[in-house]
């Protein structure tokens, strides 16, 4: 994470915002449901976090040179959405990362990618935000 404190300001990069966006959106939705409203300043901060996270996703996915448009659109669409986490199949993840299906499953078992299994033993669903993060890490290593 590239968090920096400068005086009374907190500076977050796109990767930080990607991690924060979903949790912040869920918190705001819960507070609105529970208390009937959210302070406008908090809503403005959350919107800025989501915009920055989406820009980070676009930059990482555009520079990845892997995947096709439909798969990239899946990965773009929802990690920052207020409702929930976006999930990709093992096949979509392998295509985006440019690796085999078995390697993706190994990354999931080793918890290097975040995912879950249907019923604990079914097919894997991969958290799209962890795929974007991994693409970002690979891009930084290449630079």
pTM above 0.85, yes or no: no
Burial class (CB in 10 A: 0-12, 13-18, 19+), 110: exposed
Token couple for 125: 């669903």
Separation between Cα atoms, residue 65 and residue 9, nearest integer Å? 35
- pLDDT tens digits along 18-42: 778 878 887 888 888 888 888 888 8
E-strand stretches of 41-110 = 87-88
Give the orientation angle of helix 40-62 with respect to helix 14-35, to 10 degrees.
140
Structure confidence at residue 36 (pLDDT): 80
Answer yes or no: are the C-beta atoms of 124 and 110 closer than 8 Å. Answer: no
Structure confidence at residue 37 (pLDDT): 82
Answer yes or no: are the C-beta atoms of 127 and 78 closer than 8 Å. Answer: no
Separation between Cα atoms, residue 126 and residue 122, nearest integer Å? 13
- pLDDT tens digits along 41-99: 888 888 888 888 878 877 776 665 554 454 445 444 444 443 345 788 898 888 888 89
- pLDDT tens digits along 109-140: 999 998 888 777 778 989 888 888 888 777 66
Structural domain spans, the chain: 4-142
Query: 74 to each of 2, 11, 57, 64, how far by Cα in Å?
Result: 26, 28, 11, 15
């Amino acid at each position: 994470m590239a968090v920096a404190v400068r005086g009374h300001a907190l500076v977050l990069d796109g990767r930080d915002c990607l991690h924060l966006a979903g949790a912040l959106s869920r918190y705001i939705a819960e507070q609105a449901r529970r208390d009937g409203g959210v302070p406008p300043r908090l809503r403005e901060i959350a919107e800025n976090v989501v915009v920055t996270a989406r820009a980070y996703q676009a930059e990482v996915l555009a520079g990845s040179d892997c995947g096709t448009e439909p798969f990239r659109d899946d990965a773009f669409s929802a990690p920052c959405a207020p409702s929930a986490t976006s999930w990709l199949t093992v096949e979509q993840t392998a295509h985006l990362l440019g690796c085999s299906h078995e390697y993706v499953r190994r990354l999931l078992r080793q918890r290097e990618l975040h995912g879950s299994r249907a019923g604990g033993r079914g097919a894997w669903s991969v958290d799209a935000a962890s795929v974007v993060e991994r693409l970002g890490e690979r891009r930084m290593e290449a630079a």
